[in-house]
């Protein structure tokens, strides 16, 4: 069997499915598929409809990941997918592209009447974004075995609700989430299509690229504790303003990131009591620090925590630091990345691999399975925002490149087949 004789994905249909998803769960304010909410459930219901149309049923594992299988001639299966959840006011393509393209791959095989040479397993990972609790890759980390249930279950959102209680409403018992790892036994590798969420492909004029791995991330909560006081009567020089301590730390973090050639982001900052007439007695910031090299990531993190400590000391504030979540840098599977580059060359006319600064479920799955990813470009490099977009032409090229990569792995023989067996 050669790639040319295999069914081809209908990219236009995948794009139409993405627009339907956007119609149901997005709009001018952006995507609203926040994990563990009704809109996320509605997105998953649409996936169920699409799979039903081609006669494929789905089920959920102990971590809330949705799985669907199409049996082929050989086992183990090639897993394909991404995540349907989004950040609040997110983009229409982030995650959804990979899941609906995976459904498109399955549809092409079913429609053709051909039995795939190897089984396919579609997966929609639960809560990739971690937007609510700061814990990214919920479902895929449970699958890979790195999920720390006792720690994660106690994480709270900004209203004080516990992760364990919130996921329970979706039938997930976080203490049993690691049992999702049993699905690994019947899988040989994992392939994922995703938008880049950055500016590299657009700047280089590429319609698709292979991904060689993911940066490492450290995410910490820094709580500055000063003294609440009256805005009109507390002299400037005797204040212990926790808000200004956090502001000073946030500005210093930026300098550290520039110096270390990584990224550091203060995306969440909450002042308490948070009213105009009170000097903030408490400020809580969530910092996200990233670097491609494990050693440099460690150096950056130490500098960041040192800067937070210095900012607290300067304003006579206390500081409590809590590690919310982290992941080590990871390289994807060398053999599969070569196949991904070949697919890019054959379909998109370019051969380029880059390391992802964004996090993906693939970064967790790569700890237990051979993994490769394809990126589609992001207009203006913008993501996690309503403006996130990719042209239909670029989407088509990337979807077809991903389809080609799947085909290559499905029909592989010799050393590549051994790699995924």
Q: How far is the CB of 189 from a copy of itself (least distance, A)?
A: 24
**Choice between 207 and 384, CB closer to a copy of itself:** 384
User: In whole angstroms, what is the distance from residue 229 CA to residue 195 CA?
Assistant: 47
Q: Strand order of the sheet with strand 263-272?
A: 263-272, 282-291, 216-225, 318-327
**Helix residue ranges per DSSP H, 26-95:** 38-53
Within 10 angstroms of residue 389's Cβ, the number of other Cβ atoms is 17
Residue 238 Cα distances to 110, 228, 279, 280, angstroms? 72, 12, 11, 13
Q: What is the Cα gyration radius of the chain?
A: 22
Residue 285 Cα distances to 13, 95, 201, angstroms? 42, 26, 32
**Choice between 27 and 274, CB closer to a copy of itself:** 274
User: In whole angstroms, what is the distance from residue 223 CA to residue 271 CA?
Assistant: 10
Q: How far is the CB of 134 from a copy of itself (least distance, A)?
A: 5
**Choice between 89 and 350, CB closer to a copy of itself:** 89
**Choice between 82 and 335, CB closer to a copy of itself:** 82
Which structure tokens are listed for 170? 């979706």
User: In whole angstroms, what is the distance from residue 341 CA to residue 197 CA?
Assistant: 19
Q: How far is the CB of 116 from a copy of itself (least distance, A)?
A: 33
**Choice between 93 and 121, CB closer to a copy of itself:** 93
**Choice between 114 and 263, CB closer to a copy of itself:** 263
Q: How far is the CB of 176 from a copy of itself (least distance, A)?
A: 26
User: In whole angstroms, what is the distance from residue 270 CA to residue 282 CA?
Assistant: 8
Q: How far is the CB of 97 from a copy of itself (least distance, A)?
A: 15
Q: How far is the CB of 133 from a copy of itself (least distance, A)?
A: 10
User: In whole angstroms, what is the distance from residue 13 CA to residue 67 CA?
Assistant: 21
Which structure tokens are listed for 406? 């799947």
């Amino acid at each position: 069997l050669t790639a040319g004789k295999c069914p081809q994905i209908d990219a236009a249909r995948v794009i139409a499915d993405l627009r339907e998803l956007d119609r149901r769960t997005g709009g001018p304010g952006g995507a609203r598929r926040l994990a563990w909410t009704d809109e996320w459930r509605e997105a998953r219901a649409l996936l169920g409809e699409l799979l039903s149309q081609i006669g494929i049923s789905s089920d959920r594992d102990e971590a809330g990941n949705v799985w669907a299988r199409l049996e082929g001639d050989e086992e183990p299966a090639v897993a394909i997918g991404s995540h349907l959840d989004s950040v609040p006011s997110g983009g229409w393509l982030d995650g959804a592209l990979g899941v609906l393209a995976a459904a498109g791959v399955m549809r092409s095989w079913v429609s053709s009447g051909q039995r795939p040479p190897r089984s396919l397993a579609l997966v929609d990972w639960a809560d990739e974004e971690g937007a609510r609790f700061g814990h990214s890759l919920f479902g895929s980390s449970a699958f890979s075995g790195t999920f720390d249930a006792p720690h994660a279950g106690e994480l709270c959102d900004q209203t004080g609700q516990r992760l364990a209680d919130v996921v329970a409403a979706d039938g997930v018992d976080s203490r049993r989430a690691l049992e999702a790892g049993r699905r690994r036994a019947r899988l040989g590798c994992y392939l994922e299509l995703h938008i880049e969420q950055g500016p590299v492909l657009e700047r280089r004029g590429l319609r698709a690229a292979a991904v060689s791995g993911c940066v490492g991330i450290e995410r910490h909560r820094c709580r500055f504790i000063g003294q609440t006081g009256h805005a009109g009567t507390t002299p400037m020089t005797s204040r212990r303003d926790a808000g200004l301590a956090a502001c000073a730390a946030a500005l210093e973090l930026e300098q550290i990131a520039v110096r270390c050639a990584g990224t550091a982001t203060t995306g969440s900052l909450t002042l308490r009591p948070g009213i105009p007439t009170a000097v903030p007695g408490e400020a809580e910031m969530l910092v996200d620090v990233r670097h491609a090299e494990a050693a440099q990531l460690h150096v950056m993190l130490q500098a960041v925590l040192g800067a937070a400590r210095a900012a607290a000391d300067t304003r006579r504030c206390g500081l409590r630091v809590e590690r919310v979540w982290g992941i080590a840098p990871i390289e994807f599977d060398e053999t599969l990345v070569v196949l991904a580059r070949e697919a890019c060359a054959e379909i998109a006319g370019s051969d380029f691999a880059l390391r992802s600064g964004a996090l993906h479920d693939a970064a967790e799955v790569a700890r237990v399975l051979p993994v490769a990813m394809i990126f589609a470009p992001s207009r203006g490099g913008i993501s996690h925002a309503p403006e996130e977009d990719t042209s239909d032409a670029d989407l088509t090229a990337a979807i077809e490149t991903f389809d080609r990569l799947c085909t290559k792995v499905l029909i592989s023989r010799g050393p590549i087949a051994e790699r995924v067996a």
